[in-house]
């Protein structure tokens, strides 16, 4: 394959970036709205954890049930169906009359996000040259934290004027606009070849002797990575507010975490091209472990707090996003959407468990230091497991 990217390839990778940008908005809105939701319905921390986890449960189901259809029906059709679910789910949140309804609507939104995310990595990989593949897959993942950053700005302006529900209405309209963009401008991926094989056969291929060990190690490593990542994403803005910060300042803490994540994703892409996937994740996660425990044990002034949160986001998100190019390299094109989708789906059980357990530990009275120690350990386990994967593509 030639080393230079055509305008079509650049356009498709850019669209994938924009779709991931939208997913960042859809996931992070509920984190920024957390304190307002608690007040409106009189929720405790554990119940708010259920709200966070409902969307993540939907994402897990989407990764298992929808994302693998990219290998059977095509990546483009999966994008369209998933964007429809996201648009409808976000619209329904605007009208949510109760906590139970909100949980259902967040699950629907999560289904769509779970269907899109793994296929973004697949499409970016299949529209890239050999030279740019790892970098492009990494860059596409940068859309997610950038969407989260913009969400912080919008939330700081819209919440005081229109309330938390209005932002979900805006997000629904943006998702529908992207659906139209995909319908009219996104071609089918060159890596997709229609086959008569049932999707169950493709799943079985992940557990053939060639891929079995790598599959199980990858799933488990992503589980532990998600456990830490989504706990931070879900709870950092709320923790800042509960520490006594005004809403605007607490919002900036969440934005700073995601700005660090956005920067970390770009640096991760460059680092992988220089030192490889395994060394990049090891470096990022070990330093993140140290900084998370420092953050949990020391009371900091606002500026130092923001600085440390920036680097935690930089390292945890950057390190975690190494999993995407890793997964696309482990599996061939015929089972790539299935492989990446199920890996991210299995891992998202960690994303569901983390925010819920963190909320329960908060209500139990455990110190911030204790909670940050518990939730910093999983990323070390993730590094250990990644190094056990022997795939020649990760060497």
Q: HEC states along 221-262?
A: HHHHHHHHHHHHHHHHHHHHHHCCCCHHHHHHHHHHHHHHHH
Which pLDDT score is estimated for 108?
Answer: 97
Is the distance from CB of 141 to CB of 272 less than 8 angstroms? no
Domain of 250 in residue numbering reads as 8-185+197-389
CA angle 268, 274, 276 (to 5 degrees): 70
User: Count of domains in the chain?
Assistant: 1
pLDDT at 395 over 80: no
Is position 192 within any domain?
Answer: no
Residue linked to tokens 């110190």: 367
pLDDT in tens, 292-315: 999 888 777 888 889 999 999 999
**More reliable by pLDDT, 187 or 392:** 187
Q: Given this model, what pLDDT does residue 1 score? A: 44
Provide the mean pLDDT of the chain: 87
Would you state the pLDDT for residue 169?
95
Q: Give the model's pLDDT for residue 279.
A: 93
- CA distances 213 to 143, 227, 329, 378, 391, Å, are 31, 21, 15, 20, 9
pLDDT at 194: 65
Least confident of 84-93, 243-252, 351-360: 243-252
The pLDDT value given to residue 292: 93
Q: Using the predicted structure, report yes or no on whether residue 209 has a pLDDT greater than 90.
A: no
Return d(Cα 145, Cα 298) in angstroms, integer. Answer: 26
pLDDT in tens, 230-258: 899 888 887 887 777 787 788 788 889 98
In a domain, 395, yes or no: no
Apex 223 CA angle, 309 and 255, nearest 5: 25
198 pLDDT above the threshold of 70: no
Percent of the chain with pLDDT over 90: 39
Model pLDDT for residues 114-139, shown as the tens digit of each residue:
999 888 988 988 888 878 887 888 78
Question: Count of CB atoms within 10 A of residue 291's CB?
Answer: 18
Output the DSSP codes for 321-364. Answer: TTHHHHHHHHS-GGGHHHHHHHHHHHHHHHHHHHHHHHHHHHHH
204 to 79, 158, 209, 218, 372: CA distances (angstroms): 24, 48, 10, 16, 38
In a domain, 338, yes or no: yes
Asked if the structure places residue 201 within a domain, the reply is yes
230 in a structural domain: yes
Per-residue pLDDT for 229 more than 90? yes
- Residue 190 domain-assigned? no
Q: Is residue 191 part of a domain?
A: no
Q: Is the pLDDT of residue 394 over 80?
A: no
Instruction: Using DSSP, state whether 44 is helix, strand or coil.
Output: coil
**pLDDT band for position 340 (50/70/90)?**
confident
Instruction: List the CATH number of the domain containing 336.
Output: 1.20.1250.20
Two structure tokens written together for 328: 């696309």
394 in a structural domain: no
* pTM assigned to the model: 0.77
């Amino acid at each position: 394959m030639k080393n230079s990217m055509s305008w079509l390839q650049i356009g498709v990778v850019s669209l994938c970036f924009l779709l991931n940008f939208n997913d960042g908005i859809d996931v992070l809105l509920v984190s920024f709205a957390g304190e307002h939701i608690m007040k409106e319905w009189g929720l405790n921390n554990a119940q708010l954890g259920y709200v966070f986890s409902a969307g993540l449960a939907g994402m897990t189901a989407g990764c298992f049930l929808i994302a693998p259809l990219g290998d059977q029906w095509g990546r483009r059709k999966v994008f369209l169906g998933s964007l429809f679910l996201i648009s409808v789910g976000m619209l329904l949140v605007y009208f949510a009359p109760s906590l139970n309804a909100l949980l259902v609507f967040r699950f629907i939104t999560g289904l769509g996000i779970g269907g899109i995310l793994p296929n973004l990595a697949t499409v970016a990989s299949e529209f890239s040259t050999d030279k740019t593949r790892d970098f492009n897959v990494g860059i596409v993942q940068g859309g997610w934290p950038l969407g989260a950053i913009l969400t912080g700005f919008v939330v700081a302006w819209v919440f005081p004027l229109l309330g938390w529900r209005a932002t979900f209405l805006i997000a629904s309209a943006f998702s529908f606009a992207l659906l139209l963009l995909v319908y009219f401008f996104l071609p089918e991926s060159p890596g997709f070849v229609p086959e008569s094989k049932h999707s169950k056969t493709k799943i079985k291929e992940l557990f053939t002797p060639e891929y079995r060990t790598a599959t199980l190690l990858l799933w488990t490593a992503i589980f532990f990575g998600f456990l830490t990542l989504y706990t931070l994403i879900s709870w950092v803005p709320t923790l800042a507010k509960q520490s006594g910060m005004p809403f605007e300042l607490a919002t900036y803490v969440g934005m700073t975490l995601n700005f660090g994540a956005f920067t970390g994703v770009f640096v991760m892409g460059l680092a992988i091209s220089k030192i490889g996937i395994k060394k990049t994740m090891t470096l990022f996660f070990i330093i993140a472990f140290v900084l998370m425990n420092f953050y949990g044990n020391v009371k900091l002034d606002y500026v130092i707090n923001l600085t440390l949160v920036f680097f935690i986001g930089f390292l945890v998100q950057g390190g975690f996003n190494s999993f995407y190019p890793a997964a696309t390299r482990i599996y061939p094109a015929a089972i790539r959407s299935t492989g990446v989708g199920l890996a991210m789906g299995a891992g998202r059980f960690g994303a569901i468990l983390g925010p819920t357990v963190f909320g329960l530990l908060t209500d139990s009275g455990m110190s911030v230091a204790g909670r940050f120690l518990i939730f910093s350990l999983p990323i070390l386990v993730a590094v250990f497991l990644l190094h056990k994967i022997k795939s020649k593509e990760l060497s």
